Structure 1
Amino acid sequence: MRTANAIAEMLKREGVDFVVGYPVNPIFEAAAEADIRTIIVRQERTGIHIADAFARMNSGDRVAVYLTQNGPGSENSFGGLAQAWSESAPMVAIPGGYARAQSNVAPNFSGLVNFQHVSKWTEQLTDANDLANAVRRAFTHAKNGRQRPVVLEIPGDLWGAEIEEPINYTPTPAYRSGPDPADARKAAQTLVNAERPVIYAGQGVHYARAWDQLKELAELLESPVTTSLQGKSAFPETHPLSLGSGGRAFPQAVHEFLRDADVVFGIGCSFA
């Protein structure tokens, strides 16, 4: 079994039902043979946005796979991956790369070097026999911790490598962490004692599917709620306690309530 077919088989076991991106990546043909839907776009960034949206719509429980060719395809992917990284949108990107002997030859684009700045984890496959472990590492990083894009670059001279069968690969688990109980109790007491609390909700509310809990908390405290742009719709904007959402620009009501607040409680956000 060739490298692309082996990757398609691993994606199938991970529950991936479509791959998206720009052509001239052998995984597209292998994915189609494995009955994985292929979605071709006319510009690389569009494919990344599709993968980004898929993860957000599924609260990060499922991640999409983005594919592209080496060279210009990888270069044109940089901006989309940078946006997904800054907004904590997970995906597994598998671009092609130059042959290993040409990886560091100017002016060839090095995905291994450049994508480290806009991804949670970047690896270049250097040994076809380590393929299963590399794919496993990619999905482990994409599913766990603070979710962001991960990149696994496949050098051009490894597409034709033979992968030993049967493939030893099992789907990677996803784990969720929680706050220290003592810190949670301290935060709860601070909120109870507050006279003019304001809740600032971010994208993490979507990823935790904590919409009902946020609404219940706001109503219990009678606290107004504002959201980040990524956290928009985490709290119903038709609710009497809603202040709307904002980033660098925000409604006047948000400014007034934040100015007068004695406690601002951030949930699922970074305050960055």
Structure 2
Amino acid sequence: MNSPADPPPAPDGSQRPPGRPVTRRLTVAQALVEFLAHQYTERDGRRHRLIGACWGIFGHGNVAGLGQALLETGRQRMPYLQGRNEQAMVHAATGYARQRNRLSTHAVTTSIGPGATNLVTGAAQATINRLPVLLLPGDTFATRPADPVLQQLETAHSGDVSVNDALRPVSRWFDRISRPEALVPALLQAMRVLTDPVETGAVTLALPQDVQAEAYDWPEELFTDRVWTVRRAAPDPAALADAVRVVRSAARPLIVAGGGVHHSEAEDALRALVEATGIPVAATQAGKGALRHDHPGDVGAVGHTGTAVADDLARSADLVIGVGTRYSDFTTASNTLFADPAVRFVNLNVASFDAHKMSALPLVADARAGLEALGAALEQAGGYRVDDGYEAEYRAGKERWEREVDRAYAAGDEDARPTQAQVLGALDAVVGEEDVVVNAAGSLPGDLHRLWRARSPRQYHLEYGYSCMGYEIPGAIGVRLAAPDRPVWALVGDGTYLMMPTEIVTAVQENVNIKLVLLQNHGYASIGGLSEATGAERFGTAYRFRDADGGYTGDPLPVDLAANAASLGMEVLRADSVRQLRAALAKARASERPTCVYVETGAAGAPSGALRAQAWWDVPVAETATRPAAVRARAEYDREAAARRRHL
């Protein structure tokens, strides 16, 4: 045992001078990786590793810094994942973070230059969706040994700007580590933001390549385990009392469940409140699955992509209780949905910014803590339950909608090409409650929001805050890494697939067993429909050859996306009919390797029934035009826009 006169050796073997703290000599990159390996979150007494792995693509801006540091630290302490596209690596990290309820995430490192700027789209997607991800782009030299160096952005007005500054507006925290000493406070701030449910999003630490490789004597306590407690904020008692009075005076209340229900694991608390009060629940894209689809209180999706029953209830609601929602324009139907002249709002949200939206009575609290408190306070005040007639009304509406979904899913001819809705119906028949369905863009989000029957809280994974084309495949990889025992499906249209198929190679390399359902419909189906509705006549939205007049209305392009997926290493199953599709989906689910089911969807006419939009969405139409389609679309736009209101 060492005595005070005989100080213990430092970890690198050197002697510590008497009275001096223990230090460890590491490069900035080595210290950063070692620090990240010791960070944890804790909520409800359960501890989680904060940074589960680091994605990376190496170039001259990080290969000798973070690349060397990850190699030296070792896979056991900081797992490394090799990506193919920098944007996709961020998508995978955020998919992982969402599946882990924001209690864990991944880091992403890139070189300076194109690698760093490729992060911007992924960073925007993470921040808009309030999902934590740590970005570690290389940067140009802090010491400026030559000017300019390769990939340096020169500006005539500033000498300290690099391309990484493009990440500032899409990051919740940004810092540039120009000296080793600056790393410690920057790391602490970065962890604070990543673990704060109000502040979280993309966090960027720009790392000049020379500073990454510079050695420094770090205090040993920097590398001890650090736990960031994610506390459940309780509602203010006075605000809670006000909310109870408002709820008890409501005749037609409606709960709008957003992503905050899932992030705070508040599903049981929501179900208990619904069963005690009879208040129905409509879900946003992020909130779908907050109640099981077969719960009597679940009325499905709300907003522009909502169900008929949910949107009808929203139009007549005298009280809307928003739980963990930020009220996007799709949810509010561009402020035309909540039409009762006397409608009031109570917003339960951990973020004051969101709680005050819609001129609501703000209940600033964690979703689970707030729902539990509201339920208890209602009971103490004598209880509350909606009128039997209101409950019977929405249950009957739910039954009518389920029949519409059954019709959309049904296939009259098993040997015909399936419609997109029939693809979802076939998948619905194959999956179990443990499966996860991932999607982000195109026409699929609308069909999924209206039609999908979510069986569990984490089955429905739609990235619709940014609706980023290309998210699905890397996002599914992140989900599967976070939940390795759950079958994970990436649903992708051909337009989205062509944006970013590269991470198929990553899935194959790492044997991340995702299932890809690839729908070939020859173009941007969603934007094509929107274009037609707004008088733009589907201009520039089809994947076809040019015709004699120069438009894209010729034959479909001879593109074989199934062959492309196979060339990247996936097992591919082709399905030419509904019957073949059912068999292929079942085989894919049973497969032990990444598998793609490729299907060309049949032509569909004008949307009807469950596929028709139940509420408006504001997409401005040309105010003056000569083509009849645009003139008609503008007249319809003016009619719909007249119903828009501000809730004051």
- TM-score, length of structure 1 as denominator length: 0.92
Q: 1:88-115, CA deviations, whole angstroms, 9 ceiling, x for partnerless residues?
A: 111111111111346662498432x321
Of structures 1 and 2, the larger Rg is shown by 2
The one-letter code matched in structure 2 to 1:30 is: A
2:154 matches 1:105: yes
Residue in structure 2 matched with residue 21 of structure 1 by the alignment: 56
CA distance in 1, matches of 2:221, 2:68: 22
Conserved 8 A contact 1:75-1:109 = no
Relative to structure 2, which stretch is displaced further, 3-12 or 226-235?
A: 226-235
Deviation at residue 23 of structure 1 after TM alignment? 2.7
Instruction: Pick the aligned partner of 1:151 from 186, 195, 204.
Output: 204
1:174 deviates by 3.3
- Could you say which residue in structure 2 is the equivalent of 1:58? 100
Deviation, structure 1 residue 66: 1.6
In the alignment, which residue of structure 2 is the partner of 1:255? Answer: 311
Q: Does 2:156 match 1:114?
A: no
- In structure 1, which of residues 125, 140, 150 is the aligned counterpart of residue 192 of structure 2? 140
Q: Of 105, 114, 126, which residue of structure 2 is paired with 1:72?
A: 114
Aligned length: 271
The Cα of 1:38 is off from its aligned counterpart by 0.6
Out of 110, 127, 130, the residue aligned to residue 85 of structure 1 is 127
Deviation at 1:152, TM superposition (A): 0.7
Q: Which residue of structure 1 lines up, in the alignment, with residue 69 of structure 2?
A: 30
Alignment counterpart, residue 246 of structure 2, candidates 179, 184, 190: 190
* SS in structure 2 at match of 1:173: strand
Q: Which runs of 5+ in 1 are unaligned?
A: none
Q: Tell me which of the two structures has the higher relative contact order, counting C-alpha pairs closer than 8 angstroms and 6 or more residues apart.
A: 1
- The DSSP-based 3-state class of the residue aligned with 1:92 is strand
Give the corresponding residue for 1:46: 88
Deviations 1:136-194 (A, max 9, x none): 11111111133211111101221121121444425252343333221122213322221
Q: Which moved more, 1:17-26 or 1:55-64?
A: 17-26
Q: 1:127 to 1:237 in 2, by over 3 A?
A: same
Matched, 1:130 2:182: yes
Q: Report the residue type matching 1:174 in the other structure.
A: T
**Match of 1:4, as an amino acid?**
A
Instruction: Please give the alpha-carbon distance, in whole angstroms, between the structure 2 residues aligned to 1:135 and 1:22.
Output: 22
Assess, with a 3 A threshold, how the Cα gap between structure 1 residues 47 and 54 changes in structure 2: closer, same or farther: same
User: 1:216 aligns to what?
Assistant: 272
CA-atom RMSD in angstroms:
2.0
Q: Which piece of structure 1 moves more, 97-106 or 58-67? A: 97-106
The equivalent residue for 1:174 is 229
Give the letter for the 2:200 counterpart. Answer: Q
Matches of 1:235 and 1:29, distance apart in 2: 47
- Report the AA paired with residue 228 of structure 1: T
State yes or no: 1:2 paired with 2:27: yes
* C-alpha separation in 1, matches of 2:114 and 2:85: 11
| Alpha-carbon offset, residue 22 of structure 1 | 2.5
Cα deviation code 1:193-242 (max 9, x no counterpart): 21111100111111211110011111212111111111222221221211
Q: Given the superposition, is the C-alpha separation of residues 122 and 247 from structure 1 closer, same or farther in structure 2, using an over 3 Å criterion?
A: farther
- The question of whether the paired residues in 1 share the 8 Å contact of 2:175 and 2:206 is answered with yes
Q: Which amino acid aligns with 1:128?
A: P
Decide which moves more: 78-87 or 29-38: 29-38
Report the identity percentage: 27
> Is 1:95 aligned with 2:137?
yes
2:216 counterpart of 1:163: yes
The alpha-carbon distance between structure 1 residues 247 and 131, as it changes in their structure 2 partners (threshold 3 A), is farther
Runs of 4+ that moved beyond 4 A: 106-109
Q: Distance in 2 between matches of 1:127 and 1:172?
A: 26
Where in structure 2 are the equivalents of 1:199-214 lying within 5 Å? Answer: 199-214=255-270
- Asked if structure 1 preserves the Cα contact closer than 8 Å seen for 2:257 and 2:287, the reply is yes
Q: Counterpart of 2:315 in structure 1: which amino acid?
A: R
Q: Which ranges in structure 2 are unaligned for 5 or more consecutive residues?
A: 1-25, 40-48, 329-648
